């Protein structure tokens, strides 16, 4: 049972404030007209390392006691880059266990931020085995990608900032992969704003878990939204389940369509994982209230391959 609260998010916010960007909140009349609501986009694609993951990783790294010189994690991209960046700020080494089929663009980014990459297979079991092997032969501290109180609190700061900027939102939509961003949003909101999750149909473990009331294993997730292939952890499941979080599912073509709408109307680059929220808003108009926040989670996509 986690004892995380809004206060944990506020503490994370003061801890990381001087190193991260307070990203802008964009609006777009054309999208408002299409949806029929007022939309407020929190642009974490402009965040350090191009994704909200910088927040949680930095909060975790800055919360560690002195004397640790190495960290390790597993990641298909953004969390790995974020941890390498955050570790660099404290002069630590960072290792990342990376699935072989991770986006080349994201692999290159992790290396650019100083990560040492350790290859593994594409399924979760392979990730976990490789990580366990690595931890056995090193002194590195494991920083999980989402199922960790410091990570969750850190990710919550994106929602906290959005609520500070637009005070009277009816709801906030966030993408759900491992559930770190969504859990952080629920803590930050503390019941003041409804938090709605969106998830690809092809990686629907959070949807299934909310339905059955227990943590469901994922199918082999092959969605284009590569940041959302993870499944909920114990802590993120608990937070989402306790809040009775609605999860809206979207198809792959809807994700691509929504991504394209954001690129073309808002002139900003978002990655597929960021587009699931708008895709869900377009698919389920009955779920959508009048004044709606949307966390655009990241912008790390190659112009050449859209992956």
* Cβ(146)–Cβ(152) below 8 Å: yes
* Cβ(148)–Cβ(64) below 8 Å: no
Which of 75, 76, 103, 273 is catalytic? The answer is 76
CB of 259 to a copy of itself, least distance (A): 8
Measure the CA dihedral 143/148/149/151, to 10°: 60
**Cβ-based neighbours of 232, under 8 Å, separated by 6 or more:** 176, 178, 179, 205, 206, 209, 215, 240
CB of 271 to a copy of itself, least distance (A): 9
Residue 6 or 265: the one with the smaller Cβ distance to a copy of itself is: 265
Q: For the segment 264-293, give every residue that binds a copy of itself (CB under 8 A).
A: 264, 267-270
Q: For the segment 77-136, give every residue that binds a copy of itself (CB under 8 A).
A: 105
Q: For the segment 20-79, give every residue that binds a copy of itself (CB under 8 A).
A: 24, 45-46, 50
Q: Does 299 bind a copy of itself (CB under 8 A)?
A: yes
Which of 53, 103, 189, 231 is catalytic? The answer is 53
Residue 22's nearest CA partner among 55, 64, 69 is 55
Active site residue 291: no
| Mode of pairing for the β-strands spanning 38-43 and 25-26 | antiparallel
Residue 105 or 150: the one with the smaller Cβ distance to a copy of itself is: 105
Q: Does 175 bind a copy of itself (CB under 8 A)?
A: no
CB of 264 to a copy of itself, least distance (A): 6
* Cβ(51)–Cβ(298) below 8 Å: yes
Q: Does 149 bind a copy of itself (CB under 8 A)?
A: no
Q: Does 302 bind a copy of itself (CB under 8 A)?
A: yes
């Amino acid at each position: 049972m986690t004892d995380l609260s809004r206060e944990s998010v506020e503490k994370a916010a003061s801890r990381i404030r001087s190193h991260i960007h307070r990203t802008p909140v964009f609006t777009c009349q054309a999208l408002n007209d299409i949806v029929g609501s007022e939309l407020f986009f929190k642009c974490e694609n402009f965040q350090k390392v191009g994704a909200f993951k910088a927040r949680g990783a930095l909060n975790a790294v800055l919360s560690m006691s002195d004397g640790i010189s190495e960290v390790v994690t597993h990641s298909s991209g953004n969390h790995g880059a974020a941890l390498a960046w955050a570790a660099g700020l404290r002069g630590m080494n960072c290792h990342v266990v990376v699935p072989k089929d991770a986006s080349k663009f994201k692999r290159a980014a992790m290396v650019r931020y100083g990560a040492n990459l350790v290859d593994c297979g594409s399924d979760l079991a392979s990730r976990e085995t490789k990580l366990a092997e690595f931890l056995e032969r090193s002194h590195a501290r494991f920083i999980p990608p989402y199922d960790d109180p410091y990570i969750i609190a850190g990710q919550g700061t994106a929602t906290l900032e959005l609520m500070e900027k637009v005070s009277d939102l009816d709801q906030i939509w966030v993408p759900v992969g491992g559930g770190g961003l969504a859990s952080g949003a629920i803590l930050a909101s503390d019941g003041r704003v409804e938090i709605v999750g969106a998830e690809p149909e092809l990686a629907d473990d959070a949807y299934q878990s909310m339905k059955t009331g227990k943590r469901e294993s994922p199918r082999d997730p092959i969605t284009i939204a590569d940041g959302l292939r993870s499944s909920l952890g114990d802590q993120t499941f608990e937070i989402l389940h306790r809040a009775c979080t609605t999860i809206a599912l979207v198809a792959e073509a809807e994700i691509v369509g929504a991504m394209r709408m954001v690129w073309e109307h808002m002139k900003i680059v978002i990655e597929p994982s960021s587009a699931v929220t708008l895709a869900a808003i377009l698919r389920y108009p009955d779920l959508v209230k009048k004044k709606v926040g949307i966390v655009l989670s990241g912008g790390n996509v190659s112009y050449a391959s859209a992956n």
